[in-house]
Every structure is written in C-alpha cells, then in structure tokens.
Amino acid sequence: MNSLIRAEVSAAALRDNLQRVRELAPSSRVMAVVKANAYGHGLVTTALCLADADAFAVARLQEALVLRGAGVRKPIVLLEGVFDPEQLAEAARHDLEVVVHGDEQLALLATAPAGSTFVVWLKIDTGMNRLGFRVEQVDSALVRLASLGPRIRELRLLSHFASADEPASCENDLQLARFNALSAGRSWTRSLCNSAGLFAMPEAQAEWVRPGLALYGVSPFPELLGSQLGLRPAMRLVSTVIAVRDVLAGEAVGYGGAWRAAADTRVAIVAAGYGDGLPRSLENGTPVLVNGARASLVGRVSMDMIAVNVTAIQGVQVGDPAILWGPELPVEQIAAHAGTIPYELLCSVSQRVPLAVR
Ligand SMILES: Cc1ncc(COP(=O)(O)O)c(C=O)c1O
C-alpha cells in the first residue's frame, strides 16, 4: 500500500555530494555528519550510501550503536562525547571515538577500566562558547590527558565555527587564528570545518572536514542554494492531493479562517501537515508544486493537511502528486517561508513519513 506522503532520498545525490566535498577538500579526510537521523534522511541508509566517507559523526551514543548494529565498521565520532561510566564502556566496546569537551569528561575517562583505549578529540572553544576547553585551559587539560597513559590511543584536536555561514564575519578568522595558534608546531590531527567552513574557509580544512548539510545537497548560506554550490538536494518530500474544492469569494479556508478568498478559488487539500514535519509557521503563499506546477499555500498548516491554491493549474484531481520540497523546489526557500533554516525542516520530517531511498 502506498503512503500518501513520503520522503524520497537519492542515493546518487548523496554520493555526488560526498564527491563534491572531496573536490573541495582534496587533502582532508571526510567525517560525514549523520546525527539526527542523518538530518531526516535516514541514519542507516544514509551511512550505507555514504560508505566511502572516512568516518561518521553523531551526537548521541544511541545513534552510534544503531550504526554499529547495522554493520557500519568505519570510525564513528561521538560529537558530544560520553556522560557516564556506562556510556564510556559502550564507547570502548564499540570502538567509538569520543569528543572530550569538559572537566567532567576528563574525570570520566580516568575511570575507564585498564585495557580500554580511546581516540580522543579534544574540543577547543575558539569562540562559540558552547562546548570545549577555552584556549587558556588547554594546557592543563593536556596534562590530565597525559596522566591517563595508554587509555588515550590517539589525541586529536577539534573546534567548531559559530558563524561560518556568514563568510564576511571576522569571527571566523579569529576562531581559525586561535585554533592555529594552539596547534602550531605540533603534529596533531585537527578538524574545524562544517559545511559552511568547507566552502568559506578553505584555509581551515585541516586533516578532517565535518560536513553535514552539504552532504544532503543543501546550502548552509542563507543567500545561496545547494545547486549554486555544486550540490544535489538529496531529499524530495512529496505527498498527494486528497480533495479538491471550489471556494467562493469571501469564504475562509482552514483553522481560524486565516486565509479568505478574494475571488472564487480552486483549492487542493494535500496530505501534509505538522504531524509530518511541516512547520505550522509556513506562511500564506509558500510554494507547493502540484503536478509539477507552482501553486501556493493558503491558510494555516494543520496536523495532517494543507490547502493549496490551484486555480491556475488545469485539471488537478485527487491522487495528484504535490511536492513540498526537493530538487525542483529548494528546501532553503521553503525554510525562508517559515522563518527558519533548512536544517530544521529536514530534521523535523516525522516518523510517520516513510523514507524511500532510490
Ligand atoms: C560539531 C559539529 N560538527 C559538524 C557539524 C555539521 O554541520 P553542518 O551540517 O553545518 O555541515 C555539526 C552540526 O551541527 C556539529 O555540531
């Protein structure tokens, strides 16, 4: 039985985007960021499509365990590290690389049973002020790590840009300068670039890059589309017209009568709502492609449905396809109509939307 709504994921697009990342950073290894269900694209299937990546990165232990359970043998980095002895033991058991970003995690590592060894990514706070050791704390963190002896199989350095999506921001150069100053003269393996950094700060690519959004074919820059960066959008969110009705001039549509017809209007009801992950904040006029033609959202998004003005499209009927976003309708533009960023739309695709990988 076909689902009314589905998210089609293109394996070829994912692979092409990985290739694009490699072209951009030919001297770096690629840690594919697949947290949050691979930004809505499906954790395991995405990792399998991106099997050529050099490593995977996730935010939560559970995500890493799902990947290991699915047979993913590549290195997996826990971007937020571990938080209790049980998680530490799981990380050791499954050979997960851990970020260490605070004193509590240093203390936790010291409790690791003899014989367990870790690749540790020491996280440096170069200006984001979220996670990581401040530059002036690094020396003492290194002393504590050195005291852990063979538990530390390899020590690497990582930081995160706060504003790489604003290439003109001088914060980026400041962060890079702090990071470089720390690692100068030492032979550490380092990682700094997310997707935006990859494009905007080529001088920061270092030994590892950590793209997420770019792998899904989407632009991290508000003023650009993925296609303009040589990327291919990997997801198409497509649903179905489940009713067509004629609304008379002056009549309102949907909850709260938030949209009222200025003239007689043909409205298609599409099976997609906030229960599927469409933000309720989508504004009137947001584009939707019905039978490939551009229509516009009218009225409020409800849990399971939206209404779309199809007056200008001939012959729309129940069963016709309606694309909410995809290669033909950039998710970056839809996000702008909801006052949000494409990351949020992709991650919000809900569990009841089946993923179809092609
Ligand atoms: C530490 C870290 N590195 C890399 C990424 C990937 O970022 P992006 O999706 O912008 O490429 C993220 C995502 O939030 C992150 O938290």
Q: DSSP readout, 151-163?
A: GEEEEEEE---SS
Centroid of ligand 1 to alpha carbon of 143 (angstroms): 28
pLDDT at residue 272 in the model:
98
Centroid of ligand 1 to alpha carbon of 34 (angstroms): 9
Task: Phi first, then psi: give them for residue 163, nearest 5 degrees.
Answer: -135, 30
Q: Looking at the annotation, which residues are catalytic?
A: 35, 255
Q: Which residue's CA lies nearest to atom 5 of ligand 1? A: 194
- Please identify, by atom number, the ligand 1 atom nearest to the C-alpha of residue 213: 9
Mutate to test the pocket of ligand 1, among 79, 122, 179 (most ligand atoms within 8 A of CB): 79
Query: Closest Cα to residue 303, out of 263, 273, 261?
Result: 273
- Give the tokens for residue 292: 């490939």
- Give the tokens for residue 81: 């590290």
- Please identify, by atom number, the ligand 1 atom nearest to the C-alpha of residue 198: 11
Whether 276 contacts 40, CB under 8 Å = no
Cβ of 163 less than 6 Å from ligand 1: no
Residues for the chain: how many in total?
358
Query: Closest Cα to residue 265, out of 244, 242, 254, 249?
Result: 249
Q: Which residue's CA lies nearest to atom 13 of ligand 1? A: 212
Centroid of ligand 1 to alpha carbon of 337 (angstroms): 23
Whether 340 contacts 301, CB under 8 Å = no
Whether 226 contacts 233, CB under 8 Å = yes
Cβ of 210 less than 6 Å from ligand 1: yes
Cβ of 160 less than 6 Å from ligand 1: yes
Task: Phi first, then psi: give them for residue 108, nearest 5 degrees.
Answer: -65, -45
Cβ of 79 less than 6 Å from ligand 1: yes
pLDDT at residue 279 in the model:
97
pLDDT band at 81 (very low <50, low <70, confident <90, very high): very high
Mutate to test the pocket of ligand 1, among 30, 58, 210, 345 (most ligand atoms within 8 A of CB): 210
Cβ of 28 less than 6 Å from ligand 1: no
What sign for the dihedral angle of Cα 5, 41, 86, 106? negative
208-209 vs 259-260, strand pairing mode? unpaired
pLDDT tens string 205-251: 999 999 999 999 999 999 999 999 999 999 999 999 999 999 999 99
Cα 76 from Cα 70, distance rounded (Å): 13
Cβ of 30 less than 6 Å from ligand 1: no
Whether 307 contacts 299, CB under 8 Å = yes
pLDDT tens string 330-343: 999 999 999 999 99
Centroid of ligand 1 to alpha carbon of 114 (angstroms): 33
Cβ of 211 less than 6 Å from ligand 1: yes
pLDDT tens string 32-49: 999 999 999 999 999 999
Mean pLDDT of 279-307: 98
Mean pLDDT of 98-112: 97
Cβ of 197 less than 6 Å from ligand 1: no
Whether 155 contacts 190, CB under 8 Å = no
pTM (predicted TM-score): 0.97
Residue 1 has pLDDT above 90, yes or no: no
How many helices and strands in the chain, by DSSP H and E?
A: 11, 19
